[in-house]
Amino acid sequence: MRAVAPPRLAATILSLMSLAGAAAYAPAAHAQGYIPDLACPAVGGRSPARRPSSADEEVVPFDLDALGDVSEPAPDADPQLAEQFRPGVAGVRGPGIRRLAIWGDSHIASGIFGDELRRILGLGGIDTGNAFIPPFMTRRGVRIPVRAFCVGSAWSLSMAYVSRVEVNAGPALAEMRVDGNPDGAYLWLDLRDTEREPEALRLRMLYRPMAGEAEIAVSVNEGPEESYLLEAASDYDDPAPKEIYFEDGDLLSTVKIRVVAGQVALQGFFVDKITEPSLTVDVFGIPGATANGWAVANPAHLSAAFYERGYDAVVLEFGTNEAAGDFDPVRYAQMLDRALMNMRKVFPDAACLLVGAPDRGSIIRRKRGSRSGSPSVDQLLRYPRIHARINEIQAEVGATFGCSAWDWQRAMGGPGAAYRWSRMSPPLMSGDLIHLTAPGYRRSAGALARHLGWSQ
């Protein structure tokens, strides 16, 4: 195994100091052999809290016709957008995007939406793969693009979108942090494909230097641990994050990282694979996220992270969480403007698409047995109307930055469509009337694919 810094970062990563000596930089001589599956250490936990049901309450029924026509429009395609998002072909020179990134919230975090887009692309002869592993391992309900992983309890997730000041966010607009804890400061990754075949040439760990030096121990392909020092932050540092390369004499199957001492801010991993797909698709979805993550991200730090690894096309899928609470359209437009300004500093020439909030409903309850009438249309359409305004603002602000907009709510049937989707068989909306079901996300992904010209 060896850990090396690319020439571009040699001046800023002074660099990586191996506690094991120069031998740590020499390629491993042992053959990979059989690498067992990860067996995570046993840890305790608890189930997430659920809203207790009340025997004294019931959902107020209503007539769907009171909301007007909420049927889905005919599938549409945008020829100009389809040209901008036309995938290239592996090994063939010519036009077409080769690297796509999607940032968003819980609607894409589970992976169902992205998986359906990949499936549709595959039907069209476009093979896809990922090039980045986001640091979302501690968050439940988020799809991590690795075969398997184990994460210790000492790690915590810090997300850019909750900040009110500029932050040096990594590609995922989030980072996992740990303050050296030998009992729970580990992260193990199985980098093999679903058939247990290794495909990774090297793993590049992206981190942000903290106040003091940190020490990590790393085992590759179940080999012996090697120890390294991660440099501390300096007043003279440029905004670039730091990288460590992990390689072996063979392809990588597993990489086990353990923080021995100090603080570590892990911003994710770039993966170099033996074959390059026609289209790289990296998905950065985290529950609760808003476009504010882009508004507060330091574009210089992000640009350095993506140096020579930029994206040809970007999709920002946000809006549902911005609608919660007291929605102010003026403040939202200002925040979105800052977010897109930063995005364009990082990806000035990328094709850009804003995916607006899908429709949402409200669960209106009453005391069981009460004779109160049906909820008013204003009650039922409170959030749908906010989502409609958000979609309008995305189209208006996005246009000033060369970004197209796809109105997810309109594709569902407009304000109030969530209620119709919830009554379908099988239901396309979940019981909370905020998230879609798996069939609902697949149906929506299919509609977007048609809009992008990826399917008929």
Report pLDDT digits (tens) over 326-347: 999 999 999 999 999 999 999 9
Alpha-helical segments (H) within 65-144:
79-84, 106-109, 112-123
Q: What is the pLDDT of residues 209-243, one digit of tens each?
A: 998 899 999 999 999 999 989 988 887 766 689 99
Count helices and strands (H / E) in the chain.
Answer: 11, 20
β-pairing, 132-133 with 263-273?
A: antiparallel
Domains and CATH numbers, the chain: 1-22+132-273 (2.60.120.260), 76-127+277-456 (3.40.50.1110)
Phi, psi of 396 (to 5 degrees): -70, -50
Q: CB-based contacts of 93: which residues, under 8 Å, 6+ apart?
A: none
ω into 426 cis (within 30 of 0)? yes
What is the rounded distance in angstroms from the CA atom of residue 348 to the CA atom of residue 403?
A: 11
What is the rounded distance in angstroms from the CA atom of residue 227 to the CA atom of residue 182?
A: 14
The answer to whether residues 366 and 58 touch, using CB atoms and an 8 Å cutoff, is: yes
Residue pLDDT tens, the chain, 456 long = 434 433 323 323 333 333 333 233 333 334 456 899 999 987 644 444 455 455 566 666 788 888 989 999 987 889 999 999 999 876 666 689 999 999 999 999 999 999 999 999 999 999 999 999 999 999 998 999 999 999 999 999 999 999 999 999 999 999 999 987 778 999 999 999 999 999 999 999 999 999 889 999 999 999 999 998 998 888 776 668 999 999 988 899 999 999 999 999 999 999 999 998 999 999 999 999 999 999 999 999 999 999 888 999 999 999 999 999 899 999 999 999 999 999 999 999 999 999 999 999 998 876 776 666 788 899 999 999 999 999 999 999 999 999 999 999 999 999 999 999 999 999 999 999 999 999 999 999 999 999 999 998
Distances (CA, A) of 95 to 312, 418, 451, 455: 11, 38, 19, 19
**Token reading at 152:** 């210790």
**Token reading at 255:** 């990489």
Average pLDDT, the chain: 88
pLDDT at 400: 98
Number of neighbours of residue 307 by Cβ within 10 angstroms: 11
Phi, psi of 382 (to 5 degrees): -55, -60
Q: What is the residue whose two structure tokens read 């923080």?
A: 259
The answer to whether residues 60 and 364 touch, using CB atoms and an 8 Å cutoff, is: yes
The answer to whether residues 454 and 121 touch, using CB atoms and an 8 Å cutoff, is: yes
What is the rounded distance in angstroms from the CA atom of residue 17 to the CA atom of residue 20?
A: 9
What is the rounded distance in angstroms from the CA atom of residue 370 to the CA atom of residue 57?
A: 9
The answer to whether residues 186 and 267 touch, using CB atoms and an 8 Å cutoff, is: no
Number of neighbours of residue 253 by Cβ within 10 angstroms: 26
Number of neighbours of residue 402 by Cβ within 10 angstroms: 14
Q: Where are the beta strands (DSSP E) in 296-418?
A: 313-317, 351-355, 365-367, 404-406
**Token reading at 180:** 């050296």
DSSP state, residue 136: -
